[in-house]
Amino acid sequence: MNRTNICENCVCCSKPIRAGHPFINCNKCDCILHKRCKTQENIVTFREKTYCSNCIQNHDIIRYNPFYQAPHFSNNELLDNEPQDYIDSIGTISKTLEACQSYSTNKFNILMKQIPQTTSMSIFSHYFRNIDGNGTNFDKLAVELACIDHKFSVIGLAETNIDSCNSELYQIKDYTSCYQNRFVSNKTQQVKSKGSGVSLYIHNSFNFSVIEKLSVCTEQFESLFVTITNVPEPVTVGVVYRSPSNPLANFNTQYKKVLTALKGHKAYILGDFNVNITNLSGPDEDIFEEVIYSHGFTPTISIPTHQMPHCSKTCIDNIHTNDIDSSTISGVIQDSASHHQPIFCLQLMNSDASPEQNKSPEKTTIYYNYSNANLDKLCEEIETDIDTFYHRCDSFESFMNLFQEKIDMTCKLASPKTTKRNNITNPWITNGLINSVEKKARLYFEWKKN
């Protein structure tokens, strides 16, 4: 055979690669190039594997996951003394970050059809994007949301460039909007015209209230937080924006205060942090990562979300949560017309519940009425017939039989009745009432200590 007829050509210089020539091949598409042609532009090494520039551009290869070796932790002697739930949590974080991927609108719609929805509350979902100005891009956002066959629970926007007084001009059907005012400079007393303003759109099926102490607008930090109450467990959702021109160290300080205040609350934070987590290249970036994990939060987006023309892709938009142990699906919705890609996170609530568990509770049959009057009659019967108890009760079984006779005589209903009220379902017990009772008890004990 003629050796020149079976050699391959280098994808960089287009010259043939003959036997004995050092070469490199892409682990994704198996293309081949001369080793001398290797540059940072045409070949990238990631997790000890090499990939060509085309695969890096078209596939979600470069991703953030500091725990990608988590499946091997169970055999690591250094972690023998760590709690098992801690190791399991690391594995869950790793799986979530590895599963994050890009979706076209059609692919996302197919995904939503594949997720079983046993109840209307089975999916709690978040959608975020840097809109780069409501005035120029809000109509485009409305069209994109209309093409998606899913109503997100919460929609977060950054860089709206408007104040709350103009929020009525930008409405989304079936949603209630909540806007934070733009930053006003203390020196010039002028509103920042561009690169400021955050907002949340909450679906009308949810009740919410704004958390004023966490909703701020400064030169270093912009945020808006709400608490959603009519869910199995109250959820805090916030949107955060950091301008790339502001020092990251100042942002870290403020963000640490916010995460500390959210301790003990199930929370999701949507935001444009302008920190590329796929390339943490400085001490402030490392501190940013440490602040997130040290407060029990974790990113859910691990792939690039932003790209300027003739620049590398970056992952600067994210959704942070301290409820990563729930069934979570995250990703990026492709939108080639914008520098910022929309991101989403789906939390599957009650995903382990069987259809029987999601049905309305059955009625309870009541055979006895233990009212105060009937209990008084029971005590009178026992006191009157105490001698009978003394003589007949030669064993505990005989005592229980006689006691049951007295209960049937005084408390048993003539005919059983049914009711929907039971220990599991009490219509008058709401989350708000439970929170009020707990707060009253806490205040009482604080008063008692003093």
Q: What is the pLDDT of residues 170-211, one digit of tens each?
A: 999 999 999 998 876 655 555 665 678 999 999 999 999 999
Residue 64 lies in a domain: no
394 Cβ neighbours under 8 A, 6+ residues apart: none
Higher local confidence (pLDDT), 283 or 353:
283
- Digit-coded pLDDT (tens) for 209-250: 999 999 998 888 999 999 998 888 899 999 999 998 889 999
Domain boundary among 336, 356, 376: 356
Q: Do 247 and 154 share a domain, yes or no?
A: yes
Mean pLDDT in residue range 414-435: 67
- Determine phi and psi for 174, rounding to 5 degrees: 75, 15
| Domain-embedded: residue 78 | yes
Using DSSP, state whether 94 is helix, strand or coil: helix
Residue 337, pLDDT score: 67
For residue 319, tell me if it sits in a domain. yes
* Per-position b or e across 408-443, b if 16+ CB within 10 A of its CB: eebbeeeeeeeeeeeeeeeeeeeeeeeeeeeeeeee
pLDDT at residue number 358: 42
CA dist., res. 132 & res. 31, Å (int): 39
Domain check: are 302 and 382 in the same one? no
Single-letter code of the amino acid located at 392? R
Query: For residue 334, what are the CA distances in angstroms to 28, 37, 305, 329?
Result: 21, 32, 9, 16
Same domain, yes or no: 39 and 121: no
Q: Is the pLDDT of residue 346 over 80?
A: yes
For residue 163, being part of any structural domain is answered with yes
Same-domain check for residues 87 and 215: yes
Beta bridge partners of 111: none
Tell me the C-alpha distance between 210 and 188, whole Å: 29
Choosing from 35, 58, 81, the residue where a domain stops is 58
pLDDT tens for residues 121-179? Answer: 478 899 999 999 999 999 999 999 999 999 999 999 999 999 888 888 999 999 999 99
- Count other C-beta atoms under 10 Å from residue 111's C-beta: 16
Q: Are residues 78 and 215 in the same domain?
A: yes
Same-domain status, 393 and 334: no
Top pLDDT among 79 and 30 is at: 30
Report the predicted TM-score, pTM, of the whole model to 2 decimal places. 0.69
User: What would the two tokens of residue 90 be?
Assistant: 């690391």
51 inside domain? yes
Same-domain status, 100 and 242: yes
Tell me the average pLDDT across 77-100.
72
Compute CA distances 386 → 375, 381, 392, whole Å. Answer: 16, 8, 10
Q: What is the pLDDT of residue 297?
A: 93
pLDDT for the residue numbered 87:
66
Residue 366's φ and ψ, nearest 5 degrees, are: -110, 125
Higher pLDDT, 45 or 80: 45
Q: Which of 50-54, 263-267, 405-409 shows the lowest per-residue confidence on average (mean pLDDT)?
A: 50-54
Task: Please name which of 355, 348, 15 lies closest in space to residue 153, comparing C-alpha atoms.
Answer: 348
Domain extent, residue 10, equals: 3-58
Question: Contact 428/436 with Cβ under 8 angstroms?
Answer: no
Query: What does DSSP assign to residue 7?
Result: P
With 70 as the cut, is the pLDDT of residue 80 above it?
no
- pLDDT tier at 8, thresholds 50, 70, 90: confident
For the chain, the farthest-separated pair of C-alpha atoms sits apart, in whole angstroms, at 116
pLDDT at 352: 44
63 in any annotated domain: no
Distance (Å) of CA 348 to CA 106, 188, 233, 325, 326: 21, 47, 13, 11, 7
Q: Are strands 123-130 and 343-348 parallel, antiparallel or unpaired?
A: antiparallel
- Answer yes or no: do 371 and 344 share one domain: no
What pLDDT, on the 0 to 100 scale, is given for residue 351?
Answer: 42
Q: What is the CATH number of the domain that holds 50?
A: 3.30.40
DSSP 236: E
Residues 6+ apart with CB under 8 A from 83: none
Higher pLDDT, 59 or 321: 321
- Residue 349 in this model has a pLDDT that exceeds 50: yes
Q: Give residue 41's pLDDT band: very low, low, confident or very high (50, 70, 90).
A: low
Better-predicted residue by pLDDT, 163 or 19? 163
Q: What is the CATH number of the domain that holds 194?
A: 3.60.10.10
Task: Quote the number of domains for the chain.
Answer: 3
The pLDDT tens digits of the residues spanning 368-380 come to 888 888 999 999 9
Residues 49 and 102 occupy one common structural domain: no
Q: Which of 356, 391, 421 is the last residue of a domain?
A: 356
Instruction: Say if residue 341 is in the same domain as residue 376.
Output: no
3-state secondary structure of 334: coil
Identify the CA nearest to 306 among candidates 86, 74, 130, 43.
130
What's the rounded Cα separation, in Å, for the pair 161 and 328? 31
Answer yes or no: do 104 and 134 share one domain.
yes
- CA-angle at 378, arms to 373 and 382, nearest 5°: 150
What does the CA dihedral 443, 228, 207, 358 come to, rounded to 10 degrees?
A: -110
To the nearest whole number, what is the mean pLDDT of the chain?
82
Residue 361 has pLDDT above 80, yes or no: no
Residue 366 pLDDT greater than 80, yes or no: yes
What are the backbone dihedrals phi and psi of residue 233, each rounded to the nearest 5 degrees, phi first? -140, 130
Residue 65, domain member (yes or no): no
**Is the model's pLDDT at 118 over the cut of 60?**
no
Say whether both 168 and 270 belong to one domain: yes
Instruction: Determine the Cα–Cα distance for residues 28 and 49; give it in Å rounded to an integer.
Output: 9
pLDDT of residue 125: 93
